[in-house]
Chain A
């Protein structure tokens, strides 16, 4: 018994002694770097990858604070959080611009530049022999199909699964419902969390049931079911109409008065840091400003996450092993070597 305990103790001690490594990289900052853990899924992926690279390539300690957008942005203002890996510039425009104008935070790079938002329906509603809605192509056809999407709690109307309550996409979509004249035939159903919509969609697809919902990429849901889903056509994106729509979603304007709307433009997802952090961690900033992925890569990785090990390190390793040519552009050769050694 005695030797076993002894070796266990020694093993524990040995694992603490990694700091004695000879060629140990020097992190910019001698405290953990704190990431914002927003409450949507792609953030888990980006945080895992960035944290893995910072830990194994730069010798940094990292941490993550989970929460929703507003509290986490407030945390950045107070300096409790250093990095936000995915800022939907169009959606949080006002708040983020304010923080930038006040010199609290700044955008240092673009993570994804082809993020999409749209109204989705399952493919089996439209295609196939017994498809219940072969003519459903665009939002203009929806009033005829309200019964198909009937809401159990209000059976005379269809149910439109809107974006998450309180997010700016929820207001935009509400304005769109009025602009497309769908408010009379559809219940504007606003769930309180992303998981809730995703579970409703997954449940419907597994059972081949009708469902009409707003969603976005990159996300695991669209990554996993990309073959089963189609996007409803909307009037083509038009800048003038779009800016009118956005103006109407500003604080006190009347959403019911919006008369025209268009499809969403592709969104840019930025990486932002606090100004204080930017000044004290130049190496990290250099890495983050080169960090760049795409909607497709992220959606695929997220769908993968659903079926595999979801520990942060495993997520990061799978990505780093799969796309060596991509991430090698983000870091210096020495850092790349250290990361490759750790894989």
Chain B
């Protein structure tokens, strides 16, 4: 039976290993400089978050929730959630996690938005990209994390990379879906009024697809939070570290504390972005 399957496993394994070795020897310094750029952004965000006195930061997040939802109850709940994280003794870790989430989300938006628009415009591009997105969402992250750690160095950069790879696909898919869902007659009408393709895209399609795009950003955030434990495996600090520590020391209590804090963060950011999305929708229907 051994001869039935042509053995390509060994040669793939060897050539991948050689390629990684080659990349590390020749380009890892460059990769590290490249990651230095993102780490500077990350560290700045983190320092800024830490610079705020805790009550002020909670107030700011509450204000954000209010602007997004115009609902006092949600605003209050968000404030309470953030306060609770502080009570769990995980304030600093949460800020580190938020910083990683924000940077990953920004990168995901920069990559995901144009790609989503492209997939909405071209069926062929969508056919090509679709399996790539499947791969990004299902491949076990350690498969690329270890080579990434060799190239970028351990710490926050490979964590951001893993998060971006995992969290961008839903944004691309939802942008695609949102733009495709825009009523064809509306598009045709705007064309008839002499709008250029760019005008149709920016003035009609994107605004009408906004709820869907917001949903995509929301999903990206949720997935970024889901990646924090994996990120901590390669040395990114934050709530993931708390959970991992609990697991590795047989300290279920600490694991739960970290888990609860992640859930609270998820709920807070979910509600804020959801509310923003809903208001965007309402705005366009009125």
Is residue A191 contacting chain B, with contact meaning CB distance below 8 A? yes
Which of chain A's residues have a CB closer than 8 A to the CB of B149? 196, 199-200, 203
Query: Taking A152-B155, A195-B146, A197-B154 as contacts, is the C-beta distance between A207 and B234 under 8 angstroms?
Result: no
Which of chain B's residues have a CB closer than 8 A to the CB of A70? 247-250
Counting chain A CB atoms within 10 Å of each CB, which of B10, B149, B248 scores highest? Answer: B248
Whether the Cβ atoms of A68 and B248 lie closer than 8 Å is yes
Whether the Cβ atoms of A152 and B32 lie closer than 8 Å is yes
Q: Tell me the minimal C-beta distance from B282 to chain A in angstroms.
A: 42
Of all chain A residues, the one with the shortest Cβ separation from B43 is A153
Which of chain A's residues have a CB closer than 8 A to the CB of B247? 68, 70-71, 166
Restricting to A176-229, which residues have a CB under 8 Å from any CB of B?
189-193, 195-197, 199-200, 202-203, 206-207
Whether the Cβ atoms of A207 and B146 lie closer than 8 Å is no
Q: Mark B19-40, 1 if CB is under 8 A from A, else 0.
A: 0010011001100100110010
Is residue A23 contacting chain B, with contact meaning CB distance below 8 A? no
Which of chain B's residues have a CB closer than 8 A to the CB of A161? 154
Whether the Cβ atoms of A196 and B250 lie closer than 8 Å is no
Compute how far the CA of A2 lies from the CA of B232 in the bound complex, rounded to whole angstroms.
Answer: 56
Of all chain B residues, the one with the shortest Cβ separation from A162 is B235
Which of chain A's residues have a CB closer than 8 A to the CB of B28? 203, 206-207
Whether the Cβ atoms of A153 and B155 lie closer than 8 Å is yes
Of all chain B residues, the one with the shortest Cβ separation from A202 is B150
Q: Tell me the minimal C-beta distance from B49 to chain A in angstroms.
A: 15
Query: Taking A152-B39, A166-B248, A196-B149 as contacts, is the C-beta distance between A206 and B24 under 8 angstroms?
Result: yes
Compute how far the CA of A35 lies from the CA of B103 in the bound complex, rounded to whole angstroms.
Answer: 42
Contacting residue for A203 out of B36, B150, B155, B244, CB 8 A: B150
Of all chain A residues, the one with the shortest Cβ separation from B157 is A152
Which of chain B's residues have a CB closer than 8 A to the CB of A20? none
Whether the Cβ atoms of B250 and A95 lie closer than 8 Å is yes
Whether the Cβ atoms of B24 and A196 lie closer than 8 Å is no
Which of chain B's residues have a CB closer than 8 A to the CB of A279? none
Whether the Cβ atoms of B234 and A152 lie closer than 8 Å is no
Query: Taking A68-B248, A153-B39, A166-B247 as contacts, is the C-beta distance between A192 and B235 under 8 angstroms?
Result: yes
Counting chain B CB atoms within 10 Å of each CB, which of A70, A192, A207 scores highest? Answer: A192
Whether the Cβ atoms of B233 and A12 lie closer than 8 Å is no
Is residue A165 contacting chain B, with contact meaning CB distance below 8 A? yes
Which of chain A's residues have a CB closer than 8 A to the CB of B146? 195-196, 199
Compute how far the CA of A22 lies from the CA of B253 in the bound complex, rounded to whole angstroms.
Answer: 55
Counting chain A CB atoms within 10 Å of each CB, which of B32, B39, B149, B244 scores highest? Answer: B149
Is residue B8 contacting chain A, with contact meaning CB distance below 8 A? no
Which of chain A's residues have a CB closer than 8 A to the CB of B35? 152
Which of chain A's residues have a CB closer than 8 A to the CB of B29? 207
Q: Mark A160-175, 1 if CB is under 8 A from B, else 0.
A: 0100111100000000
Is residue A101 contacting chain B, with contact meaning CB distance below 8 A? no
Contacting residue for B245 out of A74, A153, A166, A193, CB 8 A: A166
Contacting residue for B235 out of A167, A196, A202, A207, CB 8 A: A196
Compute how far the CA of A69 lies from the CA of B233 in the bound complex, rounded to whole angstroms.
Answer: 15
Q: Which residues of B contact A (CB under 8 A)?
A: 1, 10, 21, 24-25, 28-29, 32, 35-36, 39, 43, 142, 145-147, 149-151, 153-156, 232-235, 240-241, 244-245, 247-250
Q: Which residues of A contact B (CB under 8 A)?
A: 8, 11-12, 68-71, 73-74, 95, 152-153, 161, 164-167, 189-193, 195-197, 199-200, 202-203, 206-207, 309
Could you list 25 A-B pairs, sorted by A, with CB under 8 Å?
A8-B1, A12-B1, A70-B248, A70-B250, A73-B250, A95-B250, A152-B153, A153-B43, A161-B154, A165-B232, A189-B154, A190-B241, A192-B233, A192-B234, A192-B240, A193-B233, A193-B234, A196-B154, A196-B234, A199-B154, A200-B153, A202-B150, A203-B24, A206-B24, A206-B28
